[in-house]
Amino acid sequence: MIVFAKPSSGVPSRPSRSKTEQAAPLTATDSLAHIVIVGASLAGMQAAQMLRRGGYDRSLTIIGDEPHYPYDRPPLSKQYLAGSWDESKLRLRAAVDPDELGIDWRIGVPARALELSGSSVMMADGTSIPYDGLIIATGASARRLPGPDLEGVYVVRSLDDARALRDAFDAEPKRVAVIGAGFIGAEVAATARERGLEVTMIEAAKSPLGRVLDTAAGLAIADLHRSHGVDVRLGVGVHSLVSGEGAGAHTVAGVALADGTVVEADVVVVGIGVTPNTGWLEGSGLTIDDGVVCDETCLAAPGVVAAGDVARWPNVRFGEQLTRVEQWDNAVDQGAYVARRLLAEDEVAPFAPVPWFWSDQYDRKIQLAGMPTSSAEVVHGSMAEQRFVQIYGRPDRDELVGALAWNRPRQAVQARQLIEQRATMAEARETLGG
């Protein structure tokens, strides 16, 4: 593990909700005349907001590769794709008035390289932007299937992606095939069904959401989708995409599965995860390994911090292991944290949050706090009634480290606090059960 500056203390003993109170006052030092944020999405925007709120009044630049002011991504697979929200509702609130925070916006041009020794960011248009402090928040990109690009194949990551898929849904396709039953795939499948489209969801693993949910909870997701009319195929991989005949040779016509069957579909949505956007950092001298590798205070190099989907750091709450969190709430939290980290110079406690995310599918609200483990038990409700709380214990000692809540938002919040307080499993049963 790399460590540049040892934080002064260990794991924060107080819940993270009091972080704003315990944060050191931000002081804009003379050594930080210009802060550059690469990445104009949630984490970067939150960092900018926190810098300004903390009194940083020097020069602040935000670089973003997309030609849009910062917008919120979760609605892209839900309200926006459903057609119930228009684009004006997506803009992040802090960016509704782009002039409000005194930001020098450089959007629509990607950063191409980082010159660490010269402290500057090289832009794709040939210009370079020098910095005194750098926040890396370039996020991640949707993975695509290998092979030639075919018309009718979509991913959902950016506004432009979602716009294209929404147009495709508007054209009332005969069948939508969703490859991958992760959160994006499952949400797109739900939205497509709610729009009255025929949907087949294909997942190579034995159960949906296998990266975060155990098999039983994952199968409950499969049941939920089946009960809404989705043709769910589990445990079968994708062999290849099938294109049409003749004039349709560049257009998708279906998905060939590893078991030899073909799912005919005129729209295919690929939801097979993301890869962190670190290509521009190759050769920069930063450690890149499935993200920008940071110390426990999110520092990647002196004066350089990383936040959001691109950052990989050891969350000391759960051990030494490097983690990268692809979650909305983490982007907000970590964006704010790195702003403080950059300005405070030292005496900063490690970034050790309890992760939390939600997913809305049909009328279900699924929330996961902390880390799922194989030591799982349902303590409230039941999977059959699709209203339940499942808790996860740490394998090596009696401690609550995670909880899954279905349509139980109150318990999700309580669970998150219990995890922060390092409650025992018995305490968790007592509070969340019943």
Q: How far is the CB of 144 from another protein (least distance, A)?
A: 27
Nearer to another protein, 13 or 18 (CB): 18
Q: Interface with another protein by CB under 8 A: which residues?
A: 17, 20-21, 25, 46, 49, 53, 55, 72, 74, 92-93, 328-329, 332-333, 336, 356, 358, 360, 365, 367, 407, 409-410, 412-413, 416-417
Nearer to another protein, 17 or 211 (CB): 17
Q: How far is the CB of 340 from another protein (least distance, A)?
A: 12
Q: How far is the CB of 410 from another protein (least distance, A)?
A: 5
Q: How far is the CB of 157 from another protein (least distance, A)?
A: 18
Query: 387 burial class (0-12, 13-18, 19+ CB within 10 angstroms)?
Result: middle
Q: How far is the CB of 186 from another protein (least distance, A)?
A: 17
Nearer to another protein, 92 or 162 (CB): 92
As given in the structure block, the two tokens for residue 382 are 């039941």
Cα separation, 264 vs 410, in Å, equals 42
Q: How far is the CB of 62 from another protein (least distance, A)?
A: 17
What residue has token string 């018309």?
151
What count of residues does the chain have? 434
Nearer to another protein, 252 or 419 (CB): 419
Q: How far is the CB of 328 from another protein (least distance, A)?
A: 6
**Phi, psi for 311 (deg, rounded to 5):** -90, 135
Nearer to another protein, 233 or 408 (CB): 408
Nearer to another protein, 93 or 174 (CB): 93
Q: How far is the CB of 89 from another protein (least distance, A)?
A: 9
Nearer to another protein, 193 or 416 (CB): 416
Cα separation, 389 vs 429, in Å, equals 10
Q: How far is the CB of 390 from another protein (least distance, A)?
A: 17
Nearer to another protein, 316 or 336 (CB): 336
Nearer to another protein, 323 or 407 (CB): 407
Nearer to another protein, 136 or 336 (CB): 336
Beta bridge partner(s), residue 134: 36, 304
Q: How far is the CB of 201 from another protein (least distance, A)?
A: 23
C-alpha torsion angle, residues 307, 82, 242, 235 (rounded to 10): 70
